[in-house]
Structure 1
Amino acid sequence: MWLFALIIGAFTNDINLALSWGFVFLVASFFVKRDEPTLTPHEEELYQGILNKLGQPLFRTDTRITVAAESSQRIDQLFKGVSGSLAPLNSPFQALGDSALFQNKVSYRFREFKFTRRLPSLLVTNSSIFAASELASIYHFPYGTIKTEGMVRSHSRTLPATLGMKNNKFDVVLGRNNHHGEITPIGLTAAERERHVFIIGGAGNGKTTMLQYAIAQDIKNGKGVAVVDPHGDMAETLLQHIPEKRINDVIYFNPDDLAYPIGLNLLELTPGLEGDELLREKDLVTESVVSVFRKIFSEDDTGGHRIEYVLRNAIQTALYVKDATLFTVYDLLNDPVYRKQVMKDIDDKNLVNFWKQELGKAGDMQKVKMAAGITAKIGRFLFSASAKRILEQPRSTINFDGILDGKILICNFSKGLLGEDTSELFGIAILAKIQLASLRRARLKQADRRPFYLYVDEFQNFATPSFVQMLSEARKYKLYLTMAEQTTSQQDEQQMVNVILANVGTVICFRSGNPSDEQTEEYAKSKFKWQIGEDVMPFVYEATSKEVRFTDLRDPRPRFRELFAFHCPETLLEWSKSAKSLRASFSDIPELDETGLRACQVIAINNLETSLKDNRP
């Protein structure tokens, strides 16, 4: 347009005319619509991203990555992994990268100093500007359904170890307390172990592992130890942890080793005893054997007390026989000729009267009832290759008095190899022998009694009333027990449970095999209070697919109570499908029996039933 005005001026030689046309074109240009420049899709996205970021709170951010590993290769791998996770934050208008100016020790130590003290960068150019949404994508608290690689998850809260635990000198360490990165060994002092230890926990919760760990420490520290293992795995594992200097102290009792059977005579008496000492020894041996068979006898056996009476007399008689064994009792009850021969040397009038008057004058059927139960129990071990070879030896090849003086006895009584009855017999017999040896320590001075530690796994299989009662006396003879079982309900008698709990100083509880009476009761007493914000929840439910339990934490002594089954979703669903609902059943309330009721009570009940029938509860 300006060129057109100049041409007019050149041809007309009139500058005013040219300026006039130029002014006209200038004014007209303001009214001409021009095309605005357009943005590419990439520029539009970038433009919207910048506007979105500027519309949020902005933060100056220093991003530092510190990686520690055992090798440089692993460090490089971890660093690339963390750096790669920040890649989504890179965009055309911002980028994250290494801003280190010098790769030397001075700059490294300076950056480490800033990192550990959370100091910002001295140079503003080293920082990034992040919006709130970008910061949220970099760091956020983990959520249960999000799987994060390398994330350590804790399914329970932790408590710090008490000051007493931190300052104690433990005789044996059982585990570690890890609270906020502080690791404290947890164990038992020598004084605590003297009051016995009772471990409760279901299968697979770590009872045997804890026992194994404690036993290995005792063996390493030169202590006297006896282990009764009804499974066999722990016994075999412990053999691998025997120090070379203690190999000669080990007695490994494995009844399944038929080539080299160990002798175990339940009726063996200490040589050299006379007078009252011999009588006292016979009484102890008799009681120990009776306790063995009391455990083996089934609860269904009729006339149990009568059988025990016959067994006691038979054992006392067998003790008059030289080199008597358990099978001597069997012969006395089963072989009249042998019994008559033995009776010639007996001077005890009570025993003579028993065999001649009570058993001798009894009818054949009555004799069978009196003796058949005992001969059947003992006879079964005559046909067990391992039991017969061990129990028929006249001399025990294990010196239990010597074992209590610092030896190591490891008993492998695997039920899978021996059978349940034979395993129980050997376990109970070993405990009875150790009990007798500890009682013989009464002849020693207190200072001469060396501490001895007895470990019994699956204690319920071997517990006898006489041995359990001895818990209260074992401390005097420096016999200290550690017993483990799955649940107290496995004990045959509740009285035995009461005696055990009354005489143990330490009870270690894992997740119990019987949670309703041993575990959930303790939830209500826990130091971990269930909270919503700052308010403690007054009620707590514990639900499974079969039952619901409830506790009121406001009670002075809170405990769980079992609720009705209709709290379970499955039961409620069944009711909803029922042809007749609970409310509908109110229409069929039976007629009230007014016997013994006052007039006001009859009126109140009838009014209530009427309101229920009218659907006005």
Structure 2
Amino acid sequence: MVLASPESGWLGRFLLDPGTTLREVVTTIEHAALSPAAVLVLVGVAGVLAAAYALGRLRRARLRADARQVTVLTPPEVDPKGALAFWAHLIGQLRPAWKRALLGQPHLGFEYTVTPEAGAAIRLWVPGSVPTGLVERAVASAWRGAHTDTTGTARPPLPAAGEGVRRVVVGGELRLGRREGLPLRTDYSGELVRDLITAADDLAPGQAACVQILARPVTGRRVARATRRAATTGTGTGFVVGVLRDLLDLLAPGPLHRTSARTPAATGVRGGDRQAVMEVTAAARGAAVKARGPHWETVVRYAVTVPISDTLPTSGAARAVARGRADALATVFGACTDHNYYRRVHRIRLGRLLEKRYLGRGDVLSVPELAAIAHLPTDDGLPGLHRAGARALSPAPQIPTGGPHTKPLGVADTASRRPVAVKVSDARHHLHILGPTGVGKSTLLARVILDDAEAGRGVIVIDPKGDLVTDVLSRLPRRFGDRVVLFDADSGNPPPCVNPLDIARTGKAGSDLAVDNLVTVFHRIYSQWWGPRTDDIMRASLLTLCAQPGTPTLADLPRLLTEPAYRHRVTRTTPDPLLRQFWDSYETLSDTGRAQLTGPLLNKLRAFLLRPFVKAAIAGGPSTVEFADVLDNGGICLARLPKGSLGEETSRLVGSLLVARTWQAVTARARIPAAERPDAALVLDEAQNFLNLSTPVEDMLAEARGLRLSLLLAHQNLGQLSRELRDGISANARNKVIFAVSPDDARDLARHTDPWLSEHDLSHLDAYHAAARLLVDGQNARPFTLTTRPLPPPTPGRAREIAAAARTRLTTSDVQASGAVAVESDGGTATRRDPRRVQPPPVSKSSRKALPR
């Protein structure tokens, strides 16, 4: 049965004869329902609908499963075209037709959230089906310098209400007000994101605002349907519009046959109305422009949540406040009005829609339109916005990731998160580590020290604060206890002795270098009170003591200058005529004259030697540890010299003397063929305190490379370095690791990292975040950024256990030394090496990692 004829619509027949029309409808339904085919059709339709519903739920569950949240930290300078690149890049996630039909098309969520507690944040909700790291790399590629922080569990965009707290959520959805083929405005002269954040800037505690943009890529067919009739200025034809049209046709009959939708009459334009024709033409051009390129299907939701509190005691009051805030957010999108515009749509259970990120059928937007509403703000003055301190640069491919011939530094802070390291051969060009306290220098140094110990490379560490040595001791494996030599100023046990005047191994030829280093160390540390006469007295006295048989110590120097009998016994056998002339003139002085000359030197020596730890470690007799053995046999020498226990000057002096002794041991390697010199390291925290040798720094660094000693020089700022030290380290410590520094230092250090990293980047690095420029096979690689790895948890009691093992070995060596001396006296024989020296056992070939030569 036909309910409508060409001459009249079904509505007209119903109004003329409602009873007959209803009877015809009921009769038609009864005949259709009683037929077996109709029953099968109904069952089939119900089954299809149930299957479609179940498939839809399964798709949505799969999309939400393992979803992650990516917080985007805005870079200091935002490229306005970055959003275009970002959304165009991700259009490649469009799945094939069969996969979309079975599994659905994943969508992304671009969310702006503002809370008084956490400020403004820009986050991306990413389904688990999108590959890990894809969105993070797209962000880094589109916005240079942007950082991403990914969490494995996606949180709701609006904070959850606490226990016993009631909240009111007000908001809605923004949908296109005209046919979706018509374009929105993309050349807005203001800043939409700034306006959104500003609209929610002064929220009260407990309130929150959110704008959520859900988007998924669509096919060309979907775009073609959206733009097919876009040139018309109507809002579309739906059921309600069709009923109203039939009613108007009934009241004011028009032509029997409707005009084709493709004719100008369908647009409502009369032939003589030029303004209307121009409007339609402009809309057609805009639609044609929008139809080009990739497209996304989108939904925009906004909401504000307000708690019911003392100031807003009723839900009505809270709802009024929330409605005003929500209207301010929605009003911002009025700036997108062009041929199309956004209209507000009420949604029930809005909070659940926001939390589940459900995207049904949305509006089609081109990439420029989507980029206009979903992008990073270009305004650098937005309050409370989470910003990235420095740009993230991935390491060059040739930067090693680790291995037996490398020293680990950390991991890249880009999406790859790959490990980064420096080759042992390149570490011979030394490592300069710069940054204030608390940024991660000690963590990096401890990592390198533990790796050197694991690899069997000798390492000497001088720590003026004490924490670095404590961290290392509490994490060393127990099997390394017999390789440790420990100087601890806070320990009540006697330390090992490193006598800077002990030249038993180097012979008389090494006395000149030992004396030069000692005098230079005292001169530089006490430069304000050091004159040429003091320098002359100390140098002549030390050379005189070194010329005597036996092992002199610094404790003999005051006796030489103040005790006539001891001085006469020592100086009468001095072979050097210049030294005898010096002592002859010294003897002619009165006691008062000698006291005036020696007073500046003696008061410093007394302050130094009156400390029991210093006297035992520096002037306790023959050396009980040889740094040559530590460096060559994989020893681990840890010198803990806290300034709080020793005083600043004494800590500097002891550390400088240990460095001088290390340098004497290193220069002795010149007698060993280059291929047989094992790699070793000297780690100096607060390095400016200990580089006080007679050898210029640039010469020391250049010679150390050939002798296979790598120096790790760490300090806080460039102002701590003298001009000589700054130039020498800048030119010869060619591996640079720079943590957050002051703007003044960043200006100088940017010369090493330009044009990849600017001075702004160097001064805005986060904690445990550093910029590095390393050598690869002797060549400079481009800079990159990294984050240091946290140390493993300390082993309780391990530091005491290692210290006890080192102390036991020292005591055993002293007992053996006493027995060896007795045998010497009784038998009259001589040994080649002083048995009193503590020598770490050599690392076996099976446990030592093969090192490059």
- Fold shared by both chains (TM-score > 0.5): yes
> Which residues of 2 match residues 13-162 of structure 1 at below 5 A?
66-68=64-66, 78=155, 88-89=171-172, 132=342, 140-141=374-375, 153-162=387-396
Q: Give the structure 2 partner of residue 292 of structure 1.
A: 521
> Which residues of 2 match residues 270-289 of structure 1 at below 5 A?
270=504, 278-289=507-518
Residue 630 of structure 2 is aligned to residue 403 of structure 1:
yes
Secondary structure of 1:164's aligned partner: coil
Q: Give the structure 1 partner of residue 613 of structure 2.
A: 386
Kept in 1: contact 2:400–2:421 (CA 8 A): no
Residue number among 546, 559, 575 corresponding to 1:347 in the alignment: 575
Q: Report Cα offsets for 1:383-431 as digits up to 9, x if no partner.
A: 2222223333112222212101111111111111221122112101110
For 1:188 and 1:522, the matched residues in 2 are separated by 21
Deviation at 1:172, TM superposition (A): 1.5
Residue 543 of structure 2 is aligned to residue 316 of structure 1:
yes
Amino acid at match of 1:382: L
Q: Report Cα offsets for 1:250-273 as digits up to 9, x if no partner.
A: 1121123232332232211225xx
For 2:752 and 2:462, the matched residues in 1 are separated by 33
For 1:83 and 1:327, the matched residues in 2 are separated by 71
Q: Give the structure 2 partner of residue 306 of structure 1.
A: 533
Deviation at 1:519, TM superposition (A): 4.5
For 2:677 and 2:298, the matched residues in 1 are separated by 74
> Which residues of 2 match residues 411-490 of structure 1 at below 5 A?
411-467=639-695, 468=697, 469-490=699-720
What is the TM-score with the length of structure 2 in the denominator?
Answer: 0.45
Amino acid at match of 2:555: F
Kept in 1: contact 2:519–2:539 (CA 8 A): yes
Q: Give the structure 2 partner of residue 204 of structure 1.
A: 438
Q: Report Cα offsets for 1:443-492 as digits up to 9, x if no partner.
A: 32223211101110101111114252322211222111110112233224
Secondary structure of 1:172's aligned partner: strand
Rate the CA distance shift 1:517–1:117 in 2: closer, same or farther, 3 A.
Answer: closer
Kept in 2: contact 1:196–1:482 (CA 8 A): yes
Secondary structure of 2:737's aligned partner: strand
Rate the CA distance shift 1:243–1:121 in 2: closer, same or farther, 3 A.
Answer: farther
Kept in 1: contact 2:453–2:636 (CA 8 A): yes
Amino acid at match of 2:410: G
Kept in 2: contact 1:67–1:79 (CA 8 A): no
Residue number among 309, 330, 337 corresponding to 2:565 in the alignment: 337
Kept in 1: contact 2:660–2:693 (CA 8 A): no
Q: Report Cα offsets for 1:317-356 as digits up to 9, x if no partner.
A: 1121523210111111122221112223323322211101
Amino acid at match of 1:290: V
For 2:431 and 2:393, the matched residues in 1 are separated by 22
Residue number among 403, 406, 409 corresponding to 1:171 in the alignment: 406
Amino acid at match of 1:295: R
Kept in 1: contact 2:399–2:420 (CA 8 A): yes
Rate the CA distance shift 1:497–1:365 in 2: closer, same or farther, 3 A.
Answer: farther
For 1:314 and 1:139, the matched residues in 2 are separated by 81
Deviation at 1:523, TM superposition (A): 11
For 1:478 and 1:393, the matched residues in 2 are separated by 30
For 1:508 and 1:77, the matched residues in 2 are separated by 35
Amino acid at match of 1:401: A
Q: Report Cα offsets for 1:159-188 as digits up to 9, x if no partner.
A: 332232268867122122233x22232321
Q: Report Cα offsets for 1:114-165 as digits up to 9, x if no partner.
A: x99878999x9xx9987846689x98446585879xxx85333323322322
> Which residues of 2 match residues 216-255 of structure 1 at below 5 A?
216-255=450-489
Secondary structure of 2:528's aligned partner: coil
Deviation at 1:515, TM superposition (A): 1.5
Q: Give the structure 2 partner of residue 374 of structure 1.
A: 601
Q: Give the structure 2 partner of residue 263 of structure 1.
A: 497
Rate the CA distance shift 1:260–1:521 in 2: closer, same or farther, 3 A.
Answer: closer
Deviation at 1:82, TM superposition (A): 9.6
Secondary structure of 2:582's aligned partner: helix
> Which residues of 2 match residues 525-544 of structure 1 at below 5 A?
525-527=754-756
Q: Report Cα offsets for 1:543-579 as digits up to 9, x if no partner.
A: xxxxxxxxxxxxxxxxxxxxxxxxxxxxxxxxxxxxx
Secondary structure of 2:555's aligned partner: helix
Look at both structures and tell me which one has the larger radius of gyration over its CA atoms.
1
For 1:293 and 1:174, the matched residues in 2 are separated by 35
Identity percentage over the alignment? Answer: 25
Amino acid at match of 2:724: Q
Secondary structure of 1:299's aligned partner: helix
For 1:203 and 1:514, the matched residues in 2 are separated by 16
Kept in 1: contact 2:461–2:637 (CA 8 A): yes
Q: Give the structure 1 partner of residue 731 of structure 2.
A: 502
Rate the CA distance shift 1:437–1:116 in 2: closer, same or farther, 3 A.
Answer: farther
Secondary structure of 1:409's aligned partner: strand
Kept in 1: contact 2:682–2:710 (CA 8 A): yes
For 1:176 and 1:459, the matched residues in 2 are separated by 25
Kept in 1: contact 2:408–2:420 (CA 8 A): yes
Q: Report Cα offsets for 1:486-536 as digits up to 9, x if no partner.
A: 2233224x1232223232222222333571674586599444699xxxxxx
For 1:76 and 1:371, the matched residues in 2 are separated by 72
What is the TM-score with the length of structure 1 in the denominator?
Answer: 0.61
For 1:529 and 1:387, the matched residues in 2 are separated by 45
Kept in 1: contact 2:402–2:408 (CA 8 A): no
For 1:202 and 1:511, the matched residues in 2 are separated by 7
Kept in 1: contact 2:67–2:154 (CA 8 A): no
For 2:588 and 2:468, the matched residues in 1 are separated by 52
Kept in 2: contact 1:230–1:413 (CA 8 A): yes
Kept in 1: contact 2:717–2:745 (CA 8 A): no
Rate the CA distance shift 1:133–1:372 in 2: closer, same or farther, 3 A.
Answer: farther
Residue 444 of structure 2 is aligned to residue 215 of structure 1:
no
**Range 409-418 or range 495-504, more displaced:** 495-504
* CA RMSD, Structure 1 to Structure 2 (Å): 4.2
For 1:369 and 1:261, the matched residues in 2 are separated by 35
Secondary structure of 1:404's aligned partner: helix
Secondary structure of 2:412's aligned partner: strand
Deviation at 1:224, TM superposition (A): 1.3
Secondary structure of 1:285's aligned partner: helix
Kept in 1: contact 2:494–2:616 (CA 8 A): no
Q: Give the structure 2 partner of residue 3 of structure 1.
A: none
Deviation at 1:305, TM superposition (A): 2.2
Q: Give the structure 2 partner of residue 195 of structure 1.
A: 429
Q: Give the structure 2 partner of residue 607 of structure 1.
A: none
For 1:401 and 1:516, the matched residues in 2 are separated by 37
For 2:497 and 2:753, the matched residues in 1 are separated by 52
Deviation at 1:247, TM superposition (A): 2.2
For 1:183 and 1:117, the matched residues in 2 are separated by 28
Secondary structure of 1:326's aligned partner: coil
Amino acid at match of 1:257: S
For 1:388 and 1:439, the matched residues in 2 are separated by 26
Q: Give the structure 2 partner of residue 511 of structure 1.
A: 740
Amino acid at match of 1:282: S
Rate the CA distance shift 1:470–1:133 in 2: closer, same or farther, 3 A.
Answer: farther
Q: Report Cα offsets for 1:567-605 as digits up to 9, x if no partner.
A: xxxxxxxxxxxxxxxxxxxxxxxxxxxxxxxxxxxxxxx
Secondary structure of 1:341's aligned partner: helix
